Copies of this chain bind each other. A is one copy, B any other.
Amino acid sequence: MPAGAVQPFWGQKTFCVLTGASQGIGRRFAIEFGRKFAGGSVFLLLARNAQGLLETRAKVLEANPGITVVCTPSDLAKEDAPAFKKIIESSLSEAKVSPGDFQVAFIVHNAGSLGNVGQSVSELNEVEQWNEFLALNITSTSVLNSEFLKVFPQGSVPNRTVVNVTSLCAVQPFCSMGQYCVGKAAREMFFKVLAEEDPSLNVLSYSPGPVDTDMTVTIINNTKDVKTRQAFIEMKEKKTIVTCEQTTEKVIQVLANKKYTSGQRVDYFDEGY
């Protein structure tokens, strides 16, 4: 590469952590991102569901046999900093590599929960339910992100990229989706501050659009709001709902083109990225 040229994002020797990798969007991200990593890359897949993780792993290796895929079943909401440190370091040991061996250090915060969609926010009065929701969607994201950046500090690799999977719910209130809106708004702000504080990072909040996953089914089955239910049923029937494949293709392109400013949100439906 000529000096001063921008390093392409894909096709590099990459260390990537992906949360929520056992199903849905996470699984499709794993397969398609993994396909684009250079040989010798290491992919650390996290989720609670061990069986789902192994199935994702098999598909990733089918798409790209030249990389190492480490699966660590983990309930992110229950881990602390030492646990996350160990998970990341163990994956490096298992692959017999060091942080400095990579061109890209990449973390994708995809795990998240819907929270309570059966009640309006004026009914959310259970402390324990809030604690569980916030532990997964805010705290674990922050703690994992911190440990990842300690393993890959500034200067350790040419490119450190952080992707936060967000939602339209981060910027627009939706009836009966209160906790989800709160969690996504909080997370998006967290990553905005991260980008502001560390200009050496490449931070993207990517909103995948309304994607056809188990989460959508949960919304249809449990939402208290008739309009929300109707909207999702209609998208499924009319096939205007976004597929995991479509949204994965989009985020791959967004990361390749890098037309966003670090910290910014980009939605599946946004043009020009």
Contact = CB atoms under 8 A, between A and B. Distances in A.
Interface in A234-273: 263
Interface in A105-140: 120-127, 130-131, 134-135, 138-139
Indicate how many identical chains form the complex: 2
A174 to B, nearest CB: 7
- Provide the main secondary structure of the chain A interface: helix
Nearest to A224: B197
A166 to B, nearest CB: 12
A149 B122 contact: yes
A142 B187 CA distance: 18
A190 B133 CA distance: 14
Interface stretch (A7-15, A18-26, A53-61, A175-183): A175-183
Contact of A121 (B131, B175, B193): B193
Contacts of A193: 121, 173-175, 177-178, 181-182
Contacts of A188: 185
A68 B18 CA distance: 56
Contacts of A263: 173
A94 interface: no
Cβ-closest 8 pairs across A and B: A185-B189, A125-B146, A186-B186, A173-B192, A130-B139, A81-B125, A178-B193, A173-B193
A177 B194 CA distance: 10
Given A125-B81, A189-B181, A139 B149 contact: no
Given A121-B145, A182-B190, 16 more contacts: A120-B198, A121-B142, A124-B143, A125-B142, A127-B139, A130-B134, A131-B135, A134-B139, A138-B182, A173-B192, A173-B196, A176-B197, A178-B197, A181-B190, A181-B192, A185-B185
Interface of A: 80-81, 84, 120-127, 130-131, 134-135, 138-139, 142-143, 145-147, 149, 170, 173-178, 181-183, 185-190, 192-198, 263
Contact of A122 (B120, B186, B198): B198
B143 A127 contact: yes
A248 B264 CA distance: 34
A143 B149 CA distance: 35
